[in-house]
Structure 1
């Protein structure tokens, strides 16, 4: 279930209440007349089944409620109510399959912005991975994958393509390219420092590394894994099952490939630099392609579902 809190001008309250009452899947409607001060108006709250949420939010925005008032949405972790159970049963479809496009756009907008925190996490992940590739330590590689925040801008690009949002696409692309560029440059400096301290050595880097050699040797399997991870990551975002994102993060060698390219560049091993960069680009492309196609499929299937539901109600 979702909880909606609306601030509505007093002269629009009856219109909004009528919309909420006729929306299948709503419950616990409350109207607090004159409760809002900034902006001034009435406060309306209700709960709505997730599968009915996207249509309701779209209808509210079409009426300009976000311009003259406000729309706030929260996930309800627990609701002990027979009326809520009935609302979820009445709403067509399953909540796990529903996509809240407004929520997805907002989440990807936030996660795909180039910030100091984003660069810090990506840089730290790349440095941890650099330690992993030099030591041939798979545990450090997995840890670096989990720390890396790059899935945010990747999801932003996928969402922007499907929603035809060029500003979100540009913001996400800048965050992705600039973030990796800064992280790799700083990792070169970090590797130089580690070499000066005799913690990184050319001999260690060029030695046989059976646990991490795949990082600079891109192949078809790398692209297949990236496709699967892109699908899983997108589903985890759209179905609100964010816990699956950790599994997605540790399945694709984006951050390790960037780190290996940085260390290889420091030691003048340009064949590994090229191979690692190819691995990075291949994985990024696979995630974007798979994520975009997943969103397109979800949008199409859910639209067909709403059409069938409308026919049954008619």
Structure 2
């Protein structure tokens, strides 16, 4: 006890001492009211003074402290972050028991899968409220920076196994619903906007994941907005994982590849941002001898995460470019057909050019397959068109899009009332 009191005197903090009269295992209970930024430094002073590690150190939060001396201490101690010990404790609390974790994950994935199939953004967001993914993501990072290998391993395992469970849950639900009266005949999952959004990701998705990782660390170290941050992390992980599961159920490998890439890059980016920010915030193991080992583990994980993110980002970049190219071809075709209709009308020929379909998929951009464009041409009854009319249309569209096209022209005779 004398060591604690001497350290408290040197730190200039108030304290009270309650003598132990029960079991005799402890000499006394010392209570020291300090603001949160002062906790870590004071605990370090106690260790430096030789405080026995078998003793109990309990950090509790006070609702309000009414004292001029406390106000003066708060003025003297700056900062907003919590102590290393509180950080670890909160990370442990955020990672629920295994049974609770997987129960909530299965339920949230099931709801998110229904939201994807129903094209309901509100349902998807509602599912994210119960998704328990923030805890494992932070536990893994906190465990590394404070040199708690058990905590770090638990966080990594929960994330990895949770991802597999989420994909498997969506796959089972999709397989069970496919071909039932709950979905229309010939239902194509790629035509659902909420699913299409997850299978055509672009590089902007990386900012969502990195931002979620940064926000998670800020909410943990400053104890603000953890619920909303948990929703953001879940939005980055569960819907694309559920989309990958639906891709398995429908036998669509391209859906599994794109959605799987998105969920992996999001998960890795969240961990990368959390690891980096926690270390830059100054969190270290309390033993000086452990700092170098923790730094070595941090450095190796940062390198692995960075390389993996770079590779997956290249895939996302390819998806972004392919999506842009397909959209650009469709836009240029539509614009050129409108121009051709206006030109024909100006020349006195009442021909109307309308786009029926542009068959140009993401994979076609990289396989070199020619886009197939189906054009509907409305003409007045009896009007004759040249034999090379379809060739003229194709050449105009190729000039506008800059790519070789296969064009099918369908002619219909129309009459319009004056």
Query: What TM-score do you get using the length of structure 1 for normalisation?
Result: 0.80
Match of 1:221 among 192, 195, 204: 204
Question: What residue is the counterpart of 1:269 in the other structure?
Answer: 252
Q: CA deviation at 1:222?
A: 0.6
Match of 1:249 among 231, 243, 250: 231
Q: 1:77-108 CA deviation, whole Å, 9 max, x = no partner?
A: 222222222221122x13x2x24111112222
Match of 2:193 among 193, 210, 217: 210
CA contact (8 A) 2:139 2:152 kept: yes
Matches within 5 A, 1:1-314: 13-24=1-12, 26-27=13-14, 29-35=15-21, 37=23, 39-61=25-47, 65=51, 67-91=53-77, 93-94=78-79, 96=80, 98-112=81-95, 115-195=98-178, 198-200=181-183, 203-204=186-187, 206=189, 208-241=191-224, 243-247=225-229, 249-250=231-232, 252-299=235-282
Please identify the structure whose Cα radius of gyration is greater.
Answer: 2
Q: CA deviation at 1:154?
A: 1.2
Considering Cα pairs closer than 8 Å and 6+ residues apart, tell me whether 1 or 2 has the greater RCO: 1
CA contact (8 A) 1:60 1:66 kept: no
Separation in 1, partners of 2:176, 2:48: 56
Q: CA deviation at 1:292?
A: 1.4
Separation in 1, partners of 2:207, 2:35: 35
Separation in 1, partners of 2:236, 2:196: 11
Which has the larger displacement, 48-57 or 99-108?
A: 99-108
Q: 1:134-172 CA deviation, whole Å, 9 max, x = no partner?
A: 011111111222221112111122223333433322221
CA contact (8 A) 2:179 2:185 kept: no
CA contact (8 A) 2:206 2:265 kept: yes
The total of aligned residue pairs comes to: 283
Residue 182 of structure 2 aligns to a residue whose secondary structure is coil
If each structure's helix is expressed as a fraction of its own residues, which one has the higher value? 1
Q: CA deviation at 1:196?
A: 7.1
Question: What residue is the counterpart of 1:311 in the other structure?
Answer: none
Question: RMSD over aligned Cα, in angstroms?
Answer: 2.6
Which has the larger displacement, 164-173 or 279-288?
A: 164-173
Unmatched tracts of structure 2, length 5 or more:
284-418
Separation in 1, partners of 2:26, 2:33: 22
Q: CA deviation at 1:245?
A: 4.1
